[in-house]
Structure 1
Amino acid sequence: MNATHALNATYIVIAKEPVPGRVKTRLTPPYTPEEAAGLAEAALTDTLATVASIPDADRVLALAGTPGPWLAPGFRVLPQRGGGLDERLAAAFDDAFAGRPLVLIGMDTPQVTAALLRQAADALRTHDAVFGPAADGGFWLLGLTRPDAALLRGVPMSRPGTGQAQLDRLRGAGLSVASLPVLTDVDTAADAERVAAAAPGGLFAATLRERRAVRT
């Protein structure tokens, strides 16, 4: 791996402010809206900490809402723009672009590692795009050498076929695409258990254990 190239990428985290009733609503039930928001905040905190651990990276948080104490230092905070998720993703790539390759992830995979993110950035040395498929049929990471809204706008989001539709859009545009391992997004309580098991030392896993302890 060429570490220098990887570290010169712009890493974007696209996220919502963890407000009860607005985030992780599929965790309710069994969790209350407040508990679901707490888990979302823990997932976001872990994700930001992982990105922050990559030295000399350009770090961007594309945020719907207001920054809170969970915000790690060293991030440029940009407001999300657009209506649907496809438009907001396209805008995040456009707004964050600073002449470097772009690697975008969400707040739903707190098990992500710095090594995986560096692998994604390094893949952009030899590919036009990099794609991280999610277990639910979506995607957890998308990397591009440069922004192009046409690669995202109109792709149906939050559906079982979203990942394949996005991949088809990239390949249909003639891009070479590198692939990363499949990861699980935190959407349901079962997902949360799987993700916590994959990263038992993180804040997300600790928060989930606390929620379990309260219920027993």
Structure 2
Amino acid sequence: MAICHAGAELPGIAVFARAPLAGTAKTRLIPALGAAAAARLQRRLTLQALAVARRAALGRVTLWGAPDDQQRFFRAVQRACGVDLRSQSGPDLGTRMAAAFAAQAGPLLLIGSDCPALQPAHLVAAAQILLDEPPQDAVFIPAEDGGYVLVGLRCPQPQLFEAIEWGSERVMAQTRHRLSGLGLSWAELPWLWDIDRPADLLRLATLEGFVEWNR
């Protein structure tokens, strides 16, 4: 188990996002939306996640792009928003997340772009858990589907992301087991839902800013 002393350093925020390319973005929504509209939704969700991260007014915001940071959309966002831009790297999600935490070294909150219900207040609450005395080693916002929409760590813990069934409903349960095995302390905020399947689109339409996202 890694030991670190975060002190009062505000956590940075890493936003993981896939490039909004038709046919490769939000593929499970393509049967309901079509490839072009699914890509437009990915673009809107990514911009929303970045706006939320910036409004939280914590540490540095970094956009981690997939398949790499050379995509035109990511470059345009970097110019417009001034966020740092990095490429996701690694054979699976766990490896890619571990790399993001290793690059930060200090406290970091990591979110995806699939949770439009996430608000700046959620990020601030998660950051406070890492900074309070006694601080927790980790903080999570579980997802309704069994995963999680936010993970925060005081310092890198690469073993936390090993041998997890990413994309399954067992992600959060397996992560809790791993946390216990590593002797890490953690806290969980109330769960949120993310956009993953066609049924989720009905809830998306109820959120401010997303009613007319496809126009």
The TM-score normalised by the length of structure 1 is: 0.86
Letter of the 2:53 partner, please give it.
V
Letter in 1 for 2:94: D
Distance in 2 separating the partners of 1:53 and 1:106: 16
Corresponding residue to 2:120 among 107, 114, 127: 114
- Conservation of the 8 A alpha-carbon contact between 1:109 and 1:195: no
Query: 2:189 aligned with 1:176, yes or no?
Result: no
* Shift of residue 57, structure 1, vs aligned partner: 2.2
Match of 2:203 in 1: 194
Q: Which contiguous aligned blocks of 4+ residues in structure 1 show a shift greater than 6 angstroms? A: none
Partner letter of residue 160 of structure 1? E
1:70, CA displacement in angstroms? Answer: 4.2
Report the Cα distance in structure 2 between the residues aligned to 1:175 and 1:205, rounded to whole angstroms. Answer: 41
Q: Bigger CA drift: 68-77 or 170-179? A: 68-77
The TM-score, its normalising length taken from structure 2, stands at 0.86
Distance 2:192 2:124 in 1: 16
Query: Structure 1 residues 96, 21: CA separation in 2 closer, same or farther (over 3 Å shift)?
Result: farther
Question: What count of residue pairs does the alignment treat as equivalent?
Answer: 200
Equivalent residue of 1:107, what SS?
A: coil
Tell me by how many angstroms 1:156 deviates.
1.5
Q: 1:96: how far off?
A: 2.9
Q: CA deviation at 1:111?
A: 1.9
Give yes or no for contact 2:13–2:58 (8 Å, CA) kept in 1: no
Report the identity percentage: 35
Match of 2:4 in 1: none
Q: CA deviation at 1:206?
A: 2.6
The one of 118, 123, 128 aligned to 2:129: 123
Shift, 1:201, TM fit = 1.8
Matched, 1:75 2:77: no
Q: 2:42 aligns with which of 27, 40, 47?
A: 40
- Which residue is 1:206 aligned to? 212
RMSD over equivalenced CA pairs, Å = 1.8
Q: Residue in 1 aligned with 2:109?
A: 103
Matched, 1:30 2:36: no
Would the alpha carbon gap of residues 176 and 196 (structure 1) be closer, same or farther in structure 2, given more than 3 Å must change? Answer: farther
Q: Is the 8 A contact 1:90 1:153 kept in 2?
A: no
Q: Distance in 2 between matches of 1:27 and 1:167?
A: 29
**Aligned-residue offset at 1:158:** 0.3
Structure 2 gaps of 5+ residues are 1-6
State the distance in 2 between where 1:127 and 1:56 align: 18
Q: Is structure 2 residue 144 aligned with structure 1 residue 142?
A: no
Cα separation, partners in 2 of 1:195 and 1:18, compared to 1, 3 Å: same
Bigger mean CA offset, 48-57 vs 179-188:
48-57
Matched to 1:90, the amino acid is: A
